[in-house]
Structure 1
């Protein structure tokens, strides 16, 4: 069962887990004597208690919530989290990821959501991210901070943040082997080793191989990965940890389908894919990070961090081949000061972070325009462009929680950000020197643009401890998002930062049935979507939409039913999201719905568990129909798919085996859609979901 924490206060923890007996006053603090928990890698129980200091919808997904079934990628880990949209095409590892409608039109990677490992970013310096580098197979647990609840890590984005907490030698001692296999030549093999040494040092290492052919043409993926960390203790108040990530990836990029192709009513060659050999290969991806925490006075804490990332890949089989390399590095400092003011508990958090990075891309021939614009336009392999880009983002944030009464806490916070984006393109040659009317003629020209962005984001929240088991909260916040390096400049001008003012209200609690509900309403200014291109009537480009609304309901229910006659239990859960994302009186798109994210989506699961270790049960994933374009002319139909899991987990936890069946009815459906400004009804815009598949797996702890 997943653990849900829609939390309201940023002061001292207000009560212990709502699923157990709790303390009703805000000032009470629980101390966990857990050798597997420290300031840099707290246990799930400690994190669950700490997360209750947030005035908004925050949740925690433990490794034990998803490791007893096949996990094809991040989408399987986040499938039961309301407000989080993570869908993978054809069973691939890398999903389309959005929280509360963030980053809908991001042309490359994910924008609007900050992904972190132990509080340090996995995103590049301009805020973009490839979710393939967010490794769910080396997560002790994940914290999901929706919207402004991510301010603790300096993330003031519309979507929020996901923080991956790493395993350590303390939390995962011994040797563990995992093996999964199944349909579409799926294979995942992983070995993890953890060790604690006599001098207090500990080490964790993981080596894994992941591969699948996918359930659709052109969806093969292979990933080899190493992750390790080394922790050491200077003394009881000073600890450090070094992290190493290394990944090599080869991935075919699945071509979107038309409505007829999706449902098997047309050949996959009618129309043919634009680029049937579209693929990406990393060479490789490397990340180094170090953190050090010092408990310098009572409960006062300061944490220092630094990281470096080096990413290179080849993008092949598309318009032009691209060789890309990026280097990003950053530092962060975060402090926590706990005092009493006027006899009331006060918790002050401050932080500073700076990220800086640069990238270099080279484009080469041959030039292959997509159908129906023509055949091979330029067969020569010489270089077209040299593209240099750089980004800097600096953030300062302050947050304070004060207990007005034993049951009421006031939270105030603010974040200031300054960011710079620059892109320089040197055109070495143009494949269309004599054809200025070509739609690609203007792509090959010299460009040198830069822009500075400055903004701040305040936040105000309240938490009310209604009784022993229930809380109410509300908060008002603002987000400020500078554009990415791809989005900050279109063909005519630089874009402005995206801003949003968000109001959120929610509650959580329950004893027999645990419930968690939040409602949010965001007024978004200058959202980065698609706008008409003034130089090409009928065409669109990236830019700022003046006004939009993002509103929604996030609901989670869970419980445990005793089956006394069978000496067993039945766990159940429901996750439901209602979204209302739309333009607001736009000159081009009026009040149309925003595309990509369905208005309704969620999941239901029921699991029967026998004391012997046998577990069995179905789960259902569902989503309503959704538009693929801002003009609301092309829509993907809704769907509901049924999965089933049968497994055995030994009571000693020394081994687990399972069988996991997906999409039992073999339904054809669109897991996600492309983002299009104005589509036609025959356009290829739908990314197919996983077909009926069967997976088996085993985990052994030696």
Structure 2
């Protein structure tokens, strides 16, 4: 029997030959035309295997069978990625390989992207609450210089959220979750493909949580949607809309005695017991257009606009803040054979511009709540601007069928500026607010060289050497000692990934030497003692780390179903390198050891259940290494049922079964006393239930 080639017309209808309009007499066939911005996860996994470094991918199915309270839950179990949320709210710390350890506001040191376009502000900061894991088809993790694919050359790398579309998520899906501490999350999302080349996806959701600690509640309402159109001839466009309103309490740090339950919440009382943030609204608009050129070449043009209004209340003075960021990005890939060897050139350029205006008003409140100046009049007007332009090239050349060489570079220029007009000062503090007008430009160049060896059909070994360059944010670039230097680092990485009969593995070692790291530095007192800290640079730090992930399936003859086990482990050795104040002390915040281990049994009927253990060693609060957050192990358990059709699932998830008191993160400082309020508590014992239905 000889098979006849089949073709699809513009509408996706299968026809018997390229010129026929008569449908072939076949059983129904669904033809998917791949969206280059949202390819299937299996295609993306194969693409990631071409990178000579530790990259990863998390599909939505990997966290759909349990509650994911935020992006941090979706990323849990990803080695090298440290993400923790105090007491349950969706805003969390996020660091990859120790990036942005002490970012004063939001997350810094990581590019957070949607389909390759930034969610970050122009100066590099981003709030994780703006990224909903249930509005993701999958997440791509690019550690360190592997993120150069999208022009990011930060120490941490990038996380790319690949969007669901009408093609990937047709029909209506609803999800409802509820549980302890007032937690409720409801979402409805739908996708539709039309006959004229148009497709649409939309999601609306509502989140509420009281949190398991004092002043840790959060309310958020979201809308996300995208609209795609296929113009024909390899030309496609997609428009994205993100809208979010959020009110969030900012929980206060506890002393070690309070964390352990040995002292009451008011012993001592918190400095800011009612600190909170209100976003009303956060809006992001983006458009991307892709073109298939010739010989498999592609080009992608994107533009975006972000508008955020934020009020920060319950602290020294109320702050009312609005920022507008916009940018354009151009990226392309050229596929060629050079001398009989495959070659891929990725090129791109981007320009981001941001402006913010903020005002501070009275009353002026001292720590503990006493009012120094009750007047509600305005104290100062603040303007900031940031501009970041990047150009990058990355070329991969196949030296042999099993060995490829990657060479890359990024050039960046960034401008940071801030102006402050002091309108008045509080009573008793005549020079507290001061006029300021300062700016600085940062220029940097980041090269990279990598090797990837296909050691066997199922195993790869890689190594790369790179430089990163990271300008400070608009908040960090200026401090009382002058302007802040850009952070630079040289990183060497080596690792392996693959699969065997018993398990799959991903393992990577890295070593980074960081110059002018953007960390808090000590503020000396009049006699030389350390009395506090201020923004700035640490001259020299060293990072050594291991990232390991193992997973496999056990399917014995006597076992109906399969048992899947997973282990994620990260080891860090982050230290000062002969600092004048702190010698070779460990850097604070991130534990030296952390990870997750779990086992899940899945029965053919669709029932699944199993425990998982989150663990971390102790971590220092301060750079002087005088106070530690205790290590912990937290046991969770999940049981659920997923119908074979994939149309619905239900689940119950119990967390922290032993009701352990522990700190998920800490307030970093230069030198801490034994009674310092520096520990943000983790979620106490809790239970959550959820259901997901595809109509």
Of 131, 137, 140, the match for 2:137:
140
Give the 5 Å matches for 1:120-199: 120-199=117-196
- Structure 2 unaligned residues grouped into runs of 5+: 1-29
Q: Which residue matches 2:107?
A: 110
Matched, 1:531 2:526: no
- TM-fit CA distance, 1:579: 0.3
SS of residue matched to 2:555 = strand
- Structure 1 unaligned residues grouped into runs of 5+: 1-32
Matched, 1:562 2:552: no
Matched, 1:253 2:250: yes
Matched, 1:319 2:342: no
Q: Aligned pair in 2 of structure 1 residues 490, 563: CA closer, same or farther (>3 Å)?
A: same
Matched, 1:683 2:676: yes
Give the 5 Å matches for 1:607-618: 607-618=600-611
- TM-fit CA distance, 1:40: 1.5
- Whole-angstrom distance in 1 between the partners of 2:334 and 2:356: 38
Of 284, 294, 302, the match for 1:305:
302
Offset from partner CA, 1:50-93 (integer Å, 9 cap, x none): 11121100000000000000111111101110000000000111
Q: Aligned pair in 2 of structure 1 residues 694, 523: CA closer, same or farther (>3 Å)?
A: same
Number of aligned residue pairs: 662
Q: Which residue matches 2:413?
A: 418
- TM-fit CA distance, 1:276: 0.9
- Whole-angstrom distance in 2 between the partners of 1:236 and 1:261: 64
- Whole-angstrom distance in 2 between the partners of 1:524 and 1:511: 36
- TM-fit CA distance, 1:34: 6.7
Give the 5 Å matches for 1:369-388: 369-371=366-368, 375-388=370-383
- Whole-angstrom distance in 2 between the partners of 1:540 and 1:184: 35
Give the 5 Å matches for 1:566-605: 566-605=559-598
Q: Which residue matches 1:18?
A: none
Is the Cα contact below 8 Å between 1:37 and 1:46 reproduced in 2?
no
- Whole-angstrom distance in 1 between the partners of 2:87 and 2:449: 42
- TM-fit CA distance, 1:347: 0.3
Is the Cα contact below 8 Å between 2:185 and 2:208 reproduced in 1?
yes
Q: Which residue matches 2:63?
A: 66
Is the Cα contact below 8 Å between 1:36 and 1:171 reproduced in 2?
no
Q: Which residue matches 1:516?
A: 506
Matched, 1:638 2:645: no
Is the Cα contact below 8 Å between 1:177 and 1:700 reproduced in 2?
yes
TM-score, normalization by structure 1: 0.93
- Whole-angstrom distance in 2 between the partners of 1:167 and 1:401: 29
Of 654, 657, 664, the match for 2:657:
664
SS of residue matched to 1:587 = coil
Q: Which residue matches 1:397?
A: 392
Offset from partner CA, 1:220-246 (integer Å, 9 cap, x none): 100000000000000040001000000
Q: Aligned pair in 2 of structure 1 residues 34, 136: CA closer, same or farther (>3 Å)?
A: farther
TM-score, normalization by structure 2: 0.94
Give the 4+ runs in structure 1 shifted more than 4 A: 534-537
RMSD of aligned Cα (Å) = 1.1
Is the Cα contact below 8 Å between 2:454 and 2:460 reproduced in 1?
yes
Is the Cα contact below 8 Å between 1:563 and 1:570 reproduced in 2?
no
Matched, 1:353 2:357: no
SS of residue matched to 1:563 = coil
Offset from partner CA, 1:135-161 (integer Å, 9 cap, x none): 112010000000000001110000000
Is the Cα contact below 8 Å between 1:517 and 1:556 reproduced in 2?
yes
Is the Cα contact below 8 Å between 2:532 and 2:669 reproduced in 1?
no
- TM-fit CA distance, 1:675: 1.2
Offset from partner CA, 1:246-303 (integer Å, 9 cap, x none): 0000000011111000010000000111111100111100000000000011200000
- Whole-angstrom distance in 2 between the partners of 1:188 and 1:163: 24
Offset from partner CA, 1:444-480 (integer Å, 9 cap, x none): 0001110000001000000111111111100000000
- Whole-angstrom distance in 2 between the partners of 1:473 and 1:546: 30
Offset from partner CA, 1:507-533 (integer Å, 9 cap, x none): 011222101100000000000112233
- TM-fit CA distance, 1:540: 2.1
- Whole-angstrom distance in 2 between the partners of 1:280 and 1:375: 21
- Whole-angstrom distance in 1 between the partners of 2:661 and 2:71: 22
Q: Which residue matches 1:241?
A: 238
Is the Cα contact below 8 Å between 1:36 and 1:43 reproduced in 2?
no
Q: Which residue matches 2:25?
A: none
- Whole-angstrom distance in 1 between the partners of 2:33 and 2:504: 27
- TM-fit CA distance, 1:41: 1.1
SS of residue matched to 2:189 = strand
- Whole-angstrom distance in 2 between the partners of 1:295 and 1:271: 63
> Which has the bigger relative contact order, CA under 8 A and spacing at least 6?
1
- TM-fit CA distance, 1:566: 3.0
SS of residue matched to 1:150 = helix
Offset from partner CA, 1:11-33 (integer Å, 9 cap, x none): xxxxxxxxxxxxxxxxxxxxxx9
